Amino acid sequence: MADVDFNIKEEMKKPHLLTGGTFACAGCNPVLGIRLTLIALGRNVIMVNSSGCMTLTATWPFTPYRIPWVHGAIENGGSVAAGILMGLKALKKDKDTHVVVYAGDGATYDIGLQSLSGMIHRREKIIYICYNNCQFANTGHQCTSATEKYARTTTTPPPIGNPLPRKNMAKMMAMGGADYCATACVSFPFDFIRKLRKAAKVEGSVFIDLLSPCEPGWLVKPHETIKSGKLMVESGMWPLYEIEKKKITINHKPEMIPVKEALKIQGRFKHLTEEQIGEIQETVIKEWERITNGRFWEAEEY
Amino acid sequence: MLSKIIKEKDIKNLGKKGIPHAVEKQQLIERANWRTFKPVIDYDKCIKCGMCWLHCPDAAYDFNKEGFPVCNSKVCKGCLLCVEVCPVKCISVEQERGKLHKK
Amino acid sequence: MIDILDGNACAAWGARRAKVQCVPVFPITPTTEIIETIAAWKADGKFPGEFVVLESEHSAASACLGASMTGARTFSATSSQGLLLMHEMLPIISGCRTPMVLTTVSRCLSAPIGLWPDHNDTLAMRDAGWIMLICETNQEVLDSVIMAYRISENPKILLPVIVNMDGFVHSYTRTEVDVPEQKLVDKFLSHPELEVRLDVKKPMTLGIPAMGLDYMRYRQQLHKAMLDSFDVVDNVQKAWAKVTGRKYEFLDEYKTKDAKAVIVMIGANSTIARSAVDKMRKKGKKVGLLRIRLFRPFPEKQLRKALEKIDNIAVIDQNICPGMGGILYPEVKMALSGCKNVVCNYIQGLGGNFVSEDDYVDILNDVLKAKADDRKWQM
């Protein structure tokens, strides 16, 4: 990756800004997402958290964070961050400080959509990262509007699974006025770090949808979380792209392996019939064609 | 009885400590007892690429003077992601717990 | 500077004189004019702070949390349903011990939807851990906003403050108001730096989860700060009296010394009740009025001291807790537990239903005759 302004040897010398000892599960990808964010953006970050798994990374009196961090409530990541930015501007401390929201997919796609859309609309200089594990993981893996079709969650049990397809949040936010919009995956850390470094230079609102596999939610083994994310990307189920000024750039050309391979590893898709897998495969191919053939902005068929 | 009853007027003002916040503490919370397996690095094969450090969710990896990664066994939860991502497969797995049951 | 201002303008002037730095808001009748006034000042360059209209009251309250956590002085205003939408954030703001001032302009709750004032919205926030000052006059609103910052930012207290006024009766009624000079306010109000705040130079984890006994300890500390704030509020009110001559107390007592019957109430209608008391006094009836200004923390001891020797008490509630009665009534009864007074509850003026001097005369005549506690409605 030529344009990666990232020297891993240099970064390795720096102290951890997120230390270990958290309550997160072994192999937790959302926590890894925070680490990557802090590796990319450095010390000058104020992180806002929306209620979710990542809230419990810090529990009094222990904190793993070496940056200022705040938890408000679940539905207001965007507006707490807007308030912080307002405060920093009033105190003239907003230069070189990145206000970052790290919120789950339930807090972004569903309950927190209002505060996110307000923040995007006002074009506040905030980086909003949605760690997307495709479910409300902290309350025990319930369905959100980021859950894939037919996936098993505790509110959409088999045999049917989730009857609805997921929202395309990155597209929605790009249409809503985000200055920089991207999808990313924890399994592609260099891509994510590059996007964050790019986002840090953007004078405006940034939305990054970060796919972060969840070990107990996706029913994968702890050491397979990275692999399952990689398979999601390589099968075309989670295309990696960035959108600037309504121009979409594909960052990683997937190998388009059969989705069956990607679904096989995840226990939450175990109940799927051949027919359902076929349907998912068809949608993925269609979606990929839309992105590559310049029809990304057209209305999606459901 | 572990609890005790105090009068309202005897509540002490804890000042700054009464505000819910936390600052850096030297001591990490140990998560060693979460682990069944632990990663063991073969330094002969290691190319110091730092992928284990980059992918560790628990920031367990630091580097020694020679630049080799060292796993902090206090915070490693044994997820073995490092084993998965190592490009030269120099990290092997050692079982720490549950051996008795296996036999 | 003597001016003719309405309540909303008074709140805005209070914020301006207090040199508020952040104003995250969302419009709602009858609060809107506060926001419009500050927006106009901002456009003219008279207001140097940050002013942002957010996408809901909930977001406005969330932004207040964020802004005040950085150490900036924060002000917001809302009413009625907006306050209820903020409700989720209010215990979070007080629980995080972030100082700020929120002006609530009382308006009745939906449904049926109404525009006019009663106190159900503000009194619903009584358990949120905010200091609550409920005002009677426009001047008091202005003074209270300025005083509230000194109370709120006291390092021993660090609690947010609600300054309440009544919709329309205050908010759109112009009266003569003395706007204190900037120099005077600057001298009165310093801006102490928050020790616990969001700052990249001093990383701290705020809003941190706490489990079990730790949680209980933090709640206990919140209660403790609330109890400690009695002294602070008292001192601030005395200090304000020293510089402006306008004296405020927890309880505003009017002709209660020798009274046989006393009205206990909150809010703007106290002014009408006052003239009813005068009217009755002219006829030789020994009646008085006690207005509760500091509602949270509840000045239980002071209230008991003021009321224990009075035979008949009429607690007037411009609010209704369905299934229980007035909200103020049980609180006054609690303060008077063990006393032998007759305490009657009168529900009136819900949804801004017009109340006249004669209505209070009726209530006073009624309570003078009362032999036992009773709950009544004045329709």
Report pLDDT digits (tens) over A255-298.
999 999 999 999 999 999 999 999 999 999 999 998 898 888 88
Nearest chain A Cα distance for residue B77, angstroms: 5
Range of the domain at B82: 46-97
* C99 touches A at CB < 8 Å: no
**Confidence category of residue B99, pLDDT binned at 50, 70, 90:** low
- A58 to C21: CB separation less than 8 angstroms, yes or no: no
A152: pLDDT strictly greater than 60: yes
A58 contacts C54? CB cut-off 8 A:
no
Q: What is the mean pLDDT of residues A71-83?
A: 94
> Nearest 10 degrees: CA dihedral of A220, A221, A224, A226?
70
Give me the pLDDT at residue A296, please.
86
Q: Is C158's CB within 8 Å of B23's CB? A: no
Task: State the pLDDT at residue B101.
Answer: 53
Equal fold, C2-244 vs C252-377: yes
Q: Where are the domains of chain C?
A: 2-244, 252-377
- The dihedral built from the CA positions of residue A47, A51, A54 and A55, taken in this order, carries a sign that is positive
Q: Topology of C252-377 in CATH?
A: Rossmann fold (3.40.50)
Residues in A closer than 8 angstroms to B26, CB to CB, are: none
CB within 8 Å of chain B, chain A residues 144-203: 189
Percentage of the residues of chain B whose pLDDT score is greater than 90? 54
Q: How far apart (Å, rounded) are the C-alpha atoms in residues C274 and A76?
A: 45
B1 assigned to some structural domain: no
| pLDDT score recorded for residue A2 | 40
pLDDT at A301: 66
Whether residue C227 and residue B8 make contact (CB cut-off 8 A), yes or no, is: yes
pLDDT of A8:
86
Residue A297 falls inside a structural domain: no
Domain with residue A17: its CATH number is 3.40.50.970
What whole-number percentage of chain B has pLDDT above 70? 92
Is B69 among the domain residues? Answer: yes
Residue B61 lies in a domain: yes
Closest partner CB to C52 (pick from A56, A60, A82): A82
Query: Whole-angstrom Cα distance, residue A56 to residue A72?
Result: 13
Closest-CA distance, B84 to chain C, in angstroms, reads 32
Q: Which residues of C touch A76 (CB under 8 A)?
A: 58-59, 62, 89
SS3 C293: coil
Residues 17-76 of A with CB under 8 A from C: 43-46, 48-49, 55-56, 58-61, 63, 65-73, 75-76
Question: What are C106-137's pLDDT values in tens digits?
Answer: 999 998 999 999 999 999 999 999 999 999 99
Architecture of domain C2-244: 3-Layer(aba) Sandwich (3.40)
Q: What is the interface size between A and B, counted as CB pairs within 8 Å?
A: 93
Quote the ipTM score: 0.94
Q: So what's the pLDDT on residue B103?
A: 43
User: Domains in chain A: how many in total?
Assistant: 1
In a domain, B4, yes or no: no
What is the reported pLDDT for A61?
A: 86
Distance CA C37, CA C12 (A): 7
Q: State residue B2's pLDDT score.
A: 75
Q: C209–A56: do the CB atoms touch at under 8 Å? A: yes
What does pLDDT average to over chain B?
A: 87
The per-residue pLDDT for range A164-194, each reduced to its tens digit, is: 999 999 999 999 889 999 999 999 999 999 9
Q: How confident is the model at residue A3 (pLDDT cuts 50, 70, 90)?
A: low
Residues of C in contact with A43 (CB under 8 A): 200, 203
Domain count across chain B: 1
Q: What is the CATH number of the domain that holds B85?
A: 3.30.70.20
Residue of chain A with shortest Cα separation from C96: A72
Is the CB of residue C208 less than 8 Å away from at least one CB of chain B? yes
Is B38 domain-assigned? no
What would the 3-class secondary structure string for chain A be?
A: CCCCCCCHHHHHHCCCCECCCCCCCCCCHHHHHHHHHHHHHCCCEEEEECCCHHHHHCECCECCECCCEEECCCCCHHHHHHHHHHHHHHCCCCCCCEEEEEEEHHHHHHCCHHHHHHHHHCCCCEEEEEEECCCECCCCCECCCCCCCCCCCCCCCCCCCCCCCCCCHHHHHHHHCCCEEEEEECCCHHHHHHHHHHHHHCCCCEEEEEECCCHHHHCCCHHHHHHHHHHHHHCCCCCCEEEECCEEEECCCCCCCCHHHHHHCCHHHCCCCHHHHHHHHHHHHHHHHHHHCCCCCCCCCC
- The arithmetic mean of pLDDT across residues A43-63, rounded, is 92
CB within 8 Å of chain A, chain C residues 62-81: 62-72, 74
Domain that holds residue A82: 8-292
* Nearest residue to A84 via CA among A141, A35, A127, A147: A127
Q: State how far the Cα of C301 lies from the Cα of C337, in Å rounded to an integer.
A: 11
Q: Are C323 and C92 in contact (CB under 8 A)?
A: no
Both structure tokens of A115: 């505060």
Within a domain: residue A298? no
Predicted local distance difference test score (pLDDT) of residue B68: 93
User: Tokens 């929120």 identify what position?
Assistant: C102
Residue B50 with chain A: CB contacts under 8 Å: 8-9, 11-12
Give the integer Cα–Cα distance in Å for A137 and A139: 6
What is the least distance, in Å, from the CA of B8 to any CA of chain A? 24
Q: Say yes or no for a CB contact (<8 Å) between C224 and B22.
A: no
pLDDT < 50: residue spans in chain C: none
Reading the block at residue A84, the tokens are 């912080």
Greater confidence (B64 vs B26) lies with: B64
Q: Is B21 on the interface with C (CB under 8 A)?
A: yes
List C-alpha distances in Å: A242 to A184, A187, A198, C46, C277.
9, 17, 11, 42, 72
Is B13 a domain residue?
no
Taking contacts as CB-CB distances below 8 angstroms, the residues of chain A near B17 are: none
